[in-house]
Structure 1
């Protein structure tokens, strides 16, 4: 399969993606094409990408600094100004070539410039291939609070090309594994068996896993585009994972965590909460912990850290009416939405993680 249809977008895999993009460019009279990159994708991905594109339309490159710390309104303002200075108009196209930060912020910038221009996502990291670029969530952070401002907008198409995985450092590749594990855990035991020991998989096997993971997410988005029900399952491990990621982002003595590292911790914690509250199998919980620890180093959290992480939970965008909502599991593939959890239960989950 080389094509998935989402609600308002198409997801293409491999070379067919560039063929479809070139057809799209030839059929639409774009005034100018902007390619948004960071310093890494500018060097390692842009030359290959441009070699695949056939168009006589002027292409302008806009570069932003890499990293979650730059997913801010200040970065947006810089890009909006650049778009204006380069004579961008409502007939412009933006192509977001990069990881989750690029596709998140690029989609948001495109959706708001001139009240909305068309955009295409070309994810270059495993994380953005299986998660950030698919499903129409765009946005930016407010300080250390993740994804507080944004819109739902799927863009025109997504091109998933495993070529770009060759440009990644090992930690960036591994960061994407967490979302793949999550997709399997919320879906079925068969999917979990498929992805276990994921770092030992060949590239060919990984391509099949990527297709399956994107299919899982796309199926969820097709049923619930605006996160009113089923799409909440995609937040398994993210309530505490995002709080941990935000906390480490600004704490001077904590390592800045990649998204996958934080979500890996979050899945262990959510797994333990599932065990406490819904009798999720201890053996399966230990499998999750073993898989996460095979990918990511353990992070030390003090009691003071836990207090501050708990305080950040109140800002989670999934909350409603003042309630902190968790997605938990009674078994692999069997999820429970909007679960309230006590601080004591969270403390016990961290104790399981630390020990």
Structure 2
């Protein structure tokens, strides 16, 4: 499965030319309440070859990444008379592009779609790989497809619409790319004096290329692609649990905690040196406010981990860095090892 073309920079002329060269029976934009106001008008203002279109709006947030939301979207597509020659253009963050891709790839057994990721997280992570899906009762990305969009259009100017917290959430995935595959990328990001949209923009394509190379080697996640899940076995559990609270964590915030705890886990198992583990911890500590994990939550967090997609034969599988810039996958860890890593994390936080 070849990766979709990815265009970076001023994207309107590319989309405009595509619409000119292709005849669709209808065009639908999928947005949330934020991108409807802050991003879609910017895009539409520069499209000369778009005359008729419909807009579907969903509520933003991971808690809305459900079959109920997608079912309502399918019904809307049917009511609007969408057919197999309809084009869907997803304009939003990773939750929206994941859901929009799933909606399109399943409606009438598949209609074409384009992704326009508007958050840093979605630009460096959800933009590459053809994964589409929804959560199932809080379990992350349990239902979905591998379907490539027609293209991915990335315009860094959309990052100017984001709060700093969203920028830092996306930065987490960029740092992960460095940890699993490219030492220089990690060093460059950690050493930046500022971590805002302008300073990070030059490194976006570096992150995209790292992920793209991994995905093209293993498009269906049978082997190497699993390294992209570093930090996600524990991070997804923390994220899922936090969605039940008044102040849920953003995806990247949970993944940072997951990467640190999994670095302790790798050190325990003799995979990662103490020196590299300390550097990883210090790097994240310089960028993120961190707090201890309530160990009373560990049984529930463990339950979330047991639902992770990487697991096989009732064993919890991890992807763990073995040095900064390299990662192993299919590393089985038992409950005692995982809990010890949580305790080490709390002790390190102090």
Asked if these proteins are the same fold (TM beyond 0.5), I'd say yes
Verify the 8 A CA contact 1:68 1:101 in the aligned structure 2: yes
CA shift in 2, pair 1:114/1:319, >3 Å: same
Structure-2 change in CA distance of 1:349 and 1:286 (3 Å)? same
Q: Which residue in 1 is equivalent to 2:8?
A: 13
1:245 corresponds to which of 239, 242, 245:
239
Write the deviation string for residues 314-337 of structure 1: whole angstroms up to 9, x where unpaired: 111111222211011221222221
1:146 and 2:140 matched: yes
Q: Count residues in correspondence.
A: 347
Q: What residue in structure 1 maps to residue 303 of structure 2? A: 311
- Give the drift of 1:56: 4.0
Contact 1:41/1:98 (<8 A) preserved:
yes
Distance 2:112 2:133 in 1: 16
Q: Aligned-pair distance for 1:189?
A: 2.0
Deviates more, 1:31-40 or 1:292-301: 292-301
Between the aligned partners of 2:50 and 2:267, the Cα distance in structure 1 is 58
- 5 Å-filtered alignment, 1:64-79, equals 64-79=58-73
Contact kept, 8 Å, 2:174 with 2:207, in 1: the verdict is yes
What is the DSSP-based 3-state SS (H/G/I as helix, E as strand, rest coil) of the residue aligned with 1:138? strand
Structure-1-length-normalised TM-score: 0.94
Cα offset for 1:192? 1.7
Q: CA deviation at 1:207?
A: 1.8
Does 2:115 align with 1:112?
no
Going from structure 1 to structure 2, the CA distance change for 1:202 and 1:140 (only over 3 Å counts) comes to closer
After superposing on structure 2, the runs of 4+ consecutive aligned residues of structure 1 that deviate more than 6 Å are none
What is the CA RMSD across the aligned residues, in angstroms? 1.6
Which of 311, 336, 349 aligns to 1:344? It is: 336
Unpaired runs of at least 5, structure 1 = 1-5
Measured against aligned partners, the alpha-carbon deviations of 1:18-47 in whole angstroms (never above 9, x if no partner) come to 222222111111011111000011111111
Q: Which runs of 5+ in 2 are unaligned?
A: none
TM-aligned CA deviation for residue 188 of structure 1:
2.6
Partner of 1:218: 212
Of the three residues 225, 233, 237, the one matched with 2:227 is 233
Residue 198 of structure 1 deviates from its aligned partner by 4.7
1:168 aligns with 2:162: yes
Task: Give the alignment partner of residue 250 of structure 2, picking from 258, 271, 280.
Answer: 258
3-state DSSP of counterpart to 2:238: helix
